[in-house]
Amino acid sequence: MSLDGTHRFSTAFGAVAVAWTARGLSRVRLLDEGSEGAGGEGALPPIAAEAVRLLTAYFDRAPVDFSALALDETGLSPLDAAIYRELRRVPRGSTVTYGELAARAGAPGAAQAVGGAMARNPWVVVVPCHRVLAAGGALGGFSAPGGTRTKRKLLRMEGVDLDGGTPMLPGLFPED
């Protein structure tokens, strides 16, 4: 069993990939539509097996807690690490603005830095960047495949409805 590796798997949401090192998860990615879901060989180390279990449950709409998953923070700036740690404290079904997250991470006024950290987030869903909104509750951006459509879908899965259940353009966001 390798201490470093990657594994792709299928969920109810689509294909997901996880990568790990001896220090913890190094990456969680949502894969583009049409990507193969199965990949990697052999038994998974405990950190990867637990990540797969939790992510599969999450996408099956179970309330899961990712906080015990160790993350390999190698190469992160101190500010990005603080932002990600604070974001992991935002519970399912809740949101925070870029500015609020900056203040919680000890960098009031650094909303743009939070936006950059969200764009670089190596652990999509585990570090729930989809829960970060622009000022005034606007959706903001999302760098995973599907962009803001995926962000809106993840938020809806968690019970957050930004537009009262009515798509801004009928048919644009199919019901899940």
Going edge to edge, which strands form the sheet with 15-21?
5-10, 15-21, 24-30
Rounded CA gap, 119 and 141, in Å? Answer: 8
Two structure tokens written together for 51:
């990540």
Catalytic residue among 44, 52, 129, 157: 129
- Other C-beta atoms within 10 Å of 128: how many? 26
Query: Does the annotation count 116 as an active-site position?
Result: no
52/133 Cα distance (integer angstroms):
27
* Pair of tokens at residue 139: 């959706």
Task: Tell me which H or E stretch contains 87.
Answer: helix 78-87
DSSP class of residue 37?
A: -
- 91/65 Cα distance (integer angstroms): 9
Catalytic residue ranges: 129
